[in-house]
Each structure stands twice: as C-alpha cells, then as structure tokens.
Amino acid sequence: EVQLVESGGGLVQPGGSLRLSCAASGFAFSSYAMSWVRQAPGKGLEWVSGISYSGSDTYYADSVKGRFTISRDNSKNTLYLQMNSLRAEDTAVYYCAKQPNQVREFDYWGQGTLVTVSS
Amino acid sequence: QSVLTQPPSASGTPGQRVTISCSGSSSNIGTNYVYWYQQLPGTAPKLLISRNNQRPSGVPDRFSGSKSGTSASLAISGLRSEDEADYYCAAWDDSLSGWVFGGGTKLTVL
C-alpha cells in the first residue's frame, strides 16, 4: 500500500525557515517523480515544486522560486522541501504527491502538514 | 486568479447528471493531458480522472472526463450524496514548465 506521510509543519515567523519531509513507503520511491502541492485555508490547490525520480531535475512555481528548494534522499525514501524567507501568503497545508513522471498525474497524496507563517 | 478556469459552484439532485467545465489555453490543456481530482471535506485530494478520460482503479463509472481543444469537462451521472466535494482540474503547462490547477468547483447535492 502506497503511503506518504508529511511532517515538519508548524508556526514560523515571517522571514523564517522550515523544512518539510515526506516519508514514502509501499512503492519503489527512487523510480517516481514527486511534487509538493499546497492549499491555503479555504482556497484551492497550488502546485509548488516537483522533482524527477533521480533528483537531477527540479521545477518550481514562480511564487516560490528562489525561496524554496526541493530535494530527495532515495536511500531514505524521503522527499524534502526547504522553505526560506517565508511569507504570510505561504500559510497553507502542504501535500506531497507521487507521480509516474513529472508531467503525469499526482496519483497518490499524503495527508498534508500545516505551515502557518505569522508573527 | 487560476490559470485554468472552473465555475466556483455546481449543484444537482440525487440521480441527476452534472458537468463541470475547465477552460485553459494552448500551452496547457491544448497540448497536454487534463486530470481531475476530488477533495472530500477535510481530506487530501484524490485522483479521479487521468489522461483526459481514464478512470483509475476503484473510481465508479459514473465519473467521466472529456477534452476538446483548450477545454475539458467532468461529468458525474447518477449523482449521490457522497459526491458532494470540491473538484479540481489540472494540467501541465509548457510555457510555465509547471502544473496549473483550476480554482475548484464546489459540488452540492441538494
């Protein structure tokens, strides 16, 4: 059974940093692309960043480019999102999602972790 | 403002057929697959329709998808109370080199 479990969310001040993790199990993690998708309170879905199966290719939404860094450790079956220079508008539930490749569907989603940016 | 345009709401009575539209452009829907996701209240999104019109295993055949040009549609027939959820369309955008979503459609079963 595919499982994706996010962690690392919490309350952080504007300008601060946070690192999210997504622990994967139940599939060959190193063979699949992964993405982070967020959802602000009461709002719709917004793709944040994606990474190829090997980690050699990364993609970012313009809203986070230069501030967020996606990475993966295939030996630990874990996906990461390093978030720096956080803003109030980054407040959201962050989901990790599995993909067959970067331009294909998000076929499995984690339960999400809440990031709140506030003073 | 979302890159893909969906109506904010839709409704129907049990047993009815409802459709939800999704409008994009040549750089996303016009050249790439459209995907649909269902998000039940308080839960993570779930893949509902893959590659324009393919149902993943376990998705009832009451759900169907179609695409024409730069627009796509999700149809739900035999509407049931458990279909009450938010529905999102999504596509890869070649110009942005990233994913774009519709703003979501809240479906109410009256």
- Which residues does B44 contact at the CB level (< 8 Å), separation at least 6? A95, A109, A110, A111, A112
pLDDT-derived band at A103, boundaries 50, 70, 90: confident
Please tell me whether residue A89 adopts helix, strand or coil conformation: helix
Distance from CA of B50 to the nearest CA of A (A): 7
pLDDT reading at A89 higher than 90: yes
* Lateral strand order in the sheet of A78-83: A3-7, A18-25, A78-83, A68-73
Q: Which of B44, B47, B100 sits opposite A105 (nearest CB)?
A: B47
Look at residue B33 in the predicted model and tell me its pLDDT.
97
Give the confidence band of A116 by pLDDT, cuts at 50, 70, 90: very high
Nearest to B43 by CA among A28, A116, A110: A110
Taking all residues of chain B, what is their mean pLDDT, rounded to a whole number?
97
- Which of A 12-71 lie inside 8 A of B, CB atoms? 35, 37, 44-47, 50, 59-62
| C-beta of residue B102 within 8 angstroms of C-beta of residue B40 | no
Helix (H, G, I), strand (E, B) or coil at A90: helix
* Mean pLDDT across B92-105: 97
Contact A44, B104 (CB under 8 A): yes
CA distance to partner chain A, nearest, from residue B44 (Å): 6
The model's pLDDT over A5-45, given as tens digits with 9 standing for 90+, comes to 999 999 999 999 999 999 999 999 999 999 999 999 999 99
Express as a percent the part of chain B with pLDDT over 70: 100
Q: What are phi and psi of B83, to 5 degrees?
A: -85, -5
- Model pLDDT, residue B12: 96
Asked whether A34 and A99 are in contact (CB, 8 A), the reply is yes
DSSP H helices in chain A = none
A59, A105, A109: residue with CB nearest B98 = A59
In this predicted structure, the answer to whether residue A113 has a pLDDT above a threshold of 90 is: yes
